[in-house]
Each structure stands twice: as C-alpha cells, then as structure tokens.
Structure 1
Amino acid sequence: MNRQEKAQIIEQLNEKAARASIAVVTDFKSLSVEELTVLRSKCFEAGVDYQVVKNTLARLALKDTDHGGLSEHFKENCAVALGYEDPVALAKVLADFDKENKKFSIRFGSLEGKFLDNDGVKELAKMPSKPELLSSVLGTMQAVPRNFVCLFANIERKFLYALTAIKEQKEAA
C-alpha cells in the first residue's frame, strides 16, 4: 500500500468518524471470510460502517474526532464499526454477533466522545432502540386523548341505555 492510498483511507475514515455518534473497536482475528461477510451484511442493514483498518491508520484517522480517545488503546488486529444515527443499533448488532460467534469480541468503544469498555457496549445493546423509544412515546401521547374519548363515549352510551329503558317502559305501559 503506497502513501497516497494510505492518505485516502485516513481521509475517508476521518470523515466517517467525524459524522459518527458511536465508534466501536472489535477483534476479528480468527474469523473466516464468510463470518466476516455475515457481520458486514448485518452492519450494513443497521446503517453501520464496519471496516478493517491498520492500527496506525485508525489512530491518525480518529485523532481529530470525538473518538480520538480510542487511539491510545489500539493493539493487534482490529476493526472499527461506526454508527451514525442510532448508537444502540450498532451495539445490538455487535453484541448479538458476539453471542453467536465465540471467536469475535468487542474490545472498547466511544459514545459521543465518552470511552466505553466491552461491558459498556454490551449494556448499551440492552437499551431499547430509537424506533422502540419513539413508539413508546407515541403510545403514551395517544393514551390521554384516547382515554378522554372513551370516557365521553361511555357517558353517552349510558345515557342512551337509560333513554332506551325509559322508552321500553313507556311502550310496555
């Protein structure tokens, strides 16, 4: 790999890392190509970039971003996963793959500049995702008007039952 290719990789990774809200470094040492392809496809479905990169290039690329604190922890072979909109989605994809594959491991990460260890990333994976949170908020917002409408519908229904009973009484008499 020549100097120009390295500079291009650093620039691309720096642009992605600057936009990313979460960066997670993983160990992929003994994964086969098929297993790595499965992981990449799962990451792609979740809107996550997963890239195997040399440590020195990753250090240089992450240096001037929120995830610059990760640079001092790079050792051995590693890959960087970058999530943009939903940090929980990235954590869930990696944690699920970690459970399925014993050769894969999550090393550490950075959530908006704050360092996360392996356990921190796994705890993040246990949280509800952004769509789940939005649906629960929407359900809560809809509950109040729905209950209000049901309350008045029950009042009208009981009034209608009373009028029907009076009508039947008068017809019987």
Structure 2
Amino acid sequence: MPQQYKIDKVAEIESHIANTNGVFVVGYKGLTVKQAQELRHQLREVGAEMKVYKNNLVRLALKNQDQPEIDDVLFGPTAYVFYENEPVEPAKALKEFAQKSKGVLEIKGGISEGKAVTAEDVSAIADLPTKDQLLGQIAGLINGFARDIAVCVNGVSSGLARQIQQISEQKAA
C-alpha cells in the first residue's frame, strides 16, 4: 500500500501538469544552492517554476495525466521546470544558465504542448523569437506595407496634379 505523502506528491505533480503548458526536464548534478536560487529566480521572472520530485512519482503522474512517456530522461538528480504560457522564454533562461554554469545544468528534454521533446528540441525552442518579438516584427512589416502604399497613392495623385499643371501652363502660353 502506498504511503499517503507519496499519494499527495503524485497529486501535486498531476496538478502542476494539468495547469501548465509543459515541463522541461533538467539534470542539476553539481548545482550549488546559490546557483539553484539564481536559476529559480530567473525562471520565475519568465513565468516558470522549478521543482524537484522523485522520478518514479513523476512517471506515475505523467501516466495518470495521459502525457507522453519520457522515461529516457527520468534518471539521476532531476528537476522539473513547469511553464504556464509559451515555452520560448523558459527555454532561453535554461539554455543561457546552462551555458553560463559550464555544464553543471544539463537540459534533458521534456514535454511541450502535449508532445515529448528532446534536449535538441528545447535548444531549438530557445533560439526562437518570443511572442512579443514576433508581434513587433509583424507590426513593423504591416507598418512598412502601409507606408509604401501611402507613398504610391500619393505619387499617383501628385503626378496627376503635375500633369494638369503643365497642361494648363501650355494652354495659357
């Protein structure tokens, strides 16, 4: 019979899985307490949360929530980064921290929008622009097209006005 605290932990993990868009799995062997605090702070700033759970309990919770199996990354000292909105900013924070910590933090993979992702996929997600950056790029493109159309329309009307002015000057002469 399972112990009550394990049942409670599985329920807590299931709650995290159900209320978020995904989870990244990271290995933290060799991470100091100060580094862990710094990483947690950086992740909180981008709407993510890092938790440490037993791998077996996470396996049970993923199975109960009908999530893809990621058993190949659930080994050793593992932390789980749950994110609520888009995966880009948490992935960027993890990638930057992993590079800064010189291999102490290892990105193993995870689940993003109901699909299993590898460490390479997480790295590719980190290289994508954020939602705000994409919206800014789209707004810039729309603004550029609108300006070009305005210049063209203005050019036609001013060209027509010059032609009429020249014809009136010729007739007057």
Q: Secondary structure at the match of 2:49?
A: strand
Shift of 1:7: 2.7
Separation of aligned partners in 1, 2:131 and 2:74: 30
Q: After TM superposition, give the deviation of residue 158 of structure 1 in Å.
A: 6.0
**For the Cα contact (< 8 Å) 1:48–1:83, is it kept in 2?**
yes
* 1:148 corresponding residue in structure 2: 149
The 10-residue stretch of structure 1 (119-128 or 135-144) with the greater mean CA deviation from structure 2 = 135-144
Could you tell me which amino acid in structure 1 is paired with residue 107 of structure 2? I
The 8 Å contact of residues 68 and 116 in structure 2, kept in 1 or not, is answered as no
- Structure 1: distance between partners of 2:68 and 2:120: 20
Give, in angstroms, the shift of residue 28 of structure 1: 0.8
Q: Which runs of 5+ in 1 are unaligned?
A: none
| Residues 100-155 of structure 1, C-alpha deviations (whole Å, 9 max, x = no match) | 01211111212223222222211111111111122222222333322222333445
Q: Give, as a single letter, the amino acid of the residue that structure 1 aligns with 2:50.
A: Y
Partner of 1:15: 15
TM-score normalised per structure 1: 0.80
Give the aligned partner of residue 91 of structure 1: 91
- Matched residues, number: 166
Give the unaligned 5+ runs of structure 2: none
TM-score, with length taken from structure 2: 0.80
Q: 1:75: how far off?
A: 1.1
Distance 1:94 1:69 in 2: 22
1:77 alignment partner in structure 2? 77
SS in 2 for 1:75: coil
Superposition RMSD in Å: 2.7
Q: Report the counterpart of residue 28 of structure 2 in structure 1.
A: 28
Q: Give aligned-pair identity as a percent.
A: 26
Residues 56-102 of structure 1: CA deviation (Å, up to 9, x unaligned)? 22112222335441245411110111122111112111111111012
Map of 2:128 onto structure 1: 127
CA contact (8 A) 2:68 2:115 kept: no
Do the aligned residues in 1 keep the contact of 2:25 with 2:73 (CA within 8 Å)?
Answer: no
Question: Take 1:149 and 1:39, find their aligned partners in 2: how far apart are those partners?
Answer: 49
| 2:73–2:108 contact (8 Å) kept in structure 1 | no
| Change in CA separation of 1:64 and 1:138 when aligned onto 2, cut-off 3 Å | farther
Structure 2 distance, partners of 1:153, 1:7, is 71
Counterpart of 1:57 in structure 2 is 57
